[in-house]
Amino acid sequence: MTTRRAFTASALAAAAQTQPSKRPLPDWGPGIKISLQIPATVPDDYLTFAKQMGIEYVNVPGAGGTYESFAANKAKVEAAGLKVWNMGNSNVHNMPEVTLNLPGRDAKIEEYKQYLRNLSRAGVHYTTYAHMGNGIWSSDRETTRGGASARAFRLETAKGHWAGKVFEGPLSHGRRFTKEELWENYTYFIKQVVPVAEEVGVRIGIHPDDPPVPELGGVPRHIFGTWDGYVKALEIANSPNVGVCLCCGTWMEGGKSTGKDVFEAVRGFAAMGKLWKIHFRNVSAPIPYFVETFPDNGYTDMRKLMRTLVEANFNGNLIADHVPTMVGGPMVGWAYSLGYIKALYRSALAETGKG
């Protein structure tokens, strides 16, 4: 018997092929675009590092919100012989005003719409968006293999953090929010944003709630913390411009609570034509306790995950993410992770005959 969610997923896949955008979306062409995430200041040494690693694309989180800042950063990246995939703006990412319907919601939505217009004008046509109402929750940093410093999460001690704000339990905003409220707030937001995204030709890839604990600080994480939530959210958006940035590490953090494992999620979102970006990282275990770790040191088989991406014909952007800090400075960990990722990709291409 076909379930409603399975039917909806099939309908979304068909819509992705038939529903035109008001402004044509760029054709990314075949193959995974492995990318380096660099600081918002676009330092010269990071651009040199990307070229030395054989990386073609960069992502610039927290790059500001104006057209001028985007255009200047893009020009600098391109002058170095590289390409920009995404430039972020932390002011319109994880907005409690929007997610929880707090004072200032409409102003934040207008700011987000202008951000999309500025991106498009600068020639950037993808952005990652996160819809968390009380930030990313973590505990004090711990160590992973060999004493490398890494983010950790313990349910009993974790706090939320975003853009200089700290969110604590038991109720981060003084009361408990209902699932119905959050669905209403998401719908209000996305219905205003979609027409602008379609007009300017920007894809919005929505990041999972990190971590996808069913509720944190009185705020449910049922929309972008579960498979069914994602499918319903994409159905509400009903747009070729709204899809998924699948942070695989975040999805692994959720374990069984997400409703599908990370391999099933990759195949399912890819079949819908909605899988646009991958954060390729591993964790030690699912909630209630995990430590982020190297791609070859967690509980998920990352070789299998890369092969799953290749078999699903994923052709979007892929970054290393939340890389543990190794001896020698931050670039050492990035070099290790990206080198490992590139080797996995080459191996998967050979194994599948797609190289």
Q: What is the pLDDT of residue 1?
A: 41
Q: H helices within 125-207, ranges in order?
A: 179-200
Residue 345 domain-assigned? yes
- Cα dist. 313→29, 179, 222 in Å? 11, 34, 28
Q: Is 225 helix (H, G, I), strand (E, B) or coil?
A: coil
pLDDT cut 90: percent of the chain above it = 90
Rounded Cα gap, residues 34 and 28, in angstroms:
13
pLDDT at position 15 over 60: no
Residue 240 domain-assigned? yes
What is the DSSP code (8-state) at residue 322?
A: S
Which is it for strands 126-130 and 203-207: parallel, antiparallel or unpaired? parallel
- Per-residue pLDDT tens over the stretch 90-119: 999 999 999 999 999 999 999 999 999 999
Residue 158 domain-assigned? yes
- Per-residue pLDDT tens over the stretch 173-214: 999 999 999 999 999 999 999 999 999 999 999 999 999 999
CATH code for the domain of 80: 3.20.20.150
Residue 275 domain-assigned? yes
Strands (E) across the chain are located at 33-37, 57-60, 83-87, 126-130, 136-143, 149-154, 159-162, 165-167, 203-207, 215-216, 219-220, 242-247, 275-280, 282-283, 289-293, 317-320
Number of neighbouring beta carbons within 10 Å of residue 332: 15
Rounded Cα gap, residues 144 and 153, in angstroms:
13
pLDDT cut 70: percent of the chain above it = 94
Q: What is the mean pLDDT of residues 248-267?
A: 98
Rounded Cα gap, residues 128 and 314, in angstroms:
17
- Cα dist. 263→248, 292, 349 in Å? 9, 19, 17
Structure tokens given for 249: 């590490």
Residue 258 domain-assigned? yes
> Would you place residue 23 in the very low, low, confident or very high pLDDT band (cuts 50, 70, 90)?
confident
| Overall number of domains in the chain | 1
Residue 21 domain-assigned? no
Q: Is the pTM higher than 0.85?
A: yes
Residue 142 domain-assigned? yes
What domain range includes position 338?
A: 4-15+37-352
- Per-residue pLDDT tens over the stretch 317-326: 999 999 999 9
Answer with the residue of higher pLDDT: 342 or 6: 342
Rounded Cα gap, residues 318 and 85, in angstroms:
10
pLDDT at position 8 over 90: no
Rounded Cα gap, residues 332 and 314, in angstroms:
27
Q: What is the pLDDT of residue 5?
A: 54
Rounded Cα gap, residues 175 and 194, in angstroms:
30
Q: What is the mean pLDDT of residues 75-86?
A: 97
Phi-psi region of 205 (alpha: psi -120 to 50; beta: other; left: phi over 0): beta
Residue 234 domain-assigned? yes
- Per-residue pLDDT tens over the stretch 212-236: 999 999 999 999 999 999 999 999 9
Structure tokens given for 276: 């646009």
Q: What is the pLDDT of residue 9?
A: 54
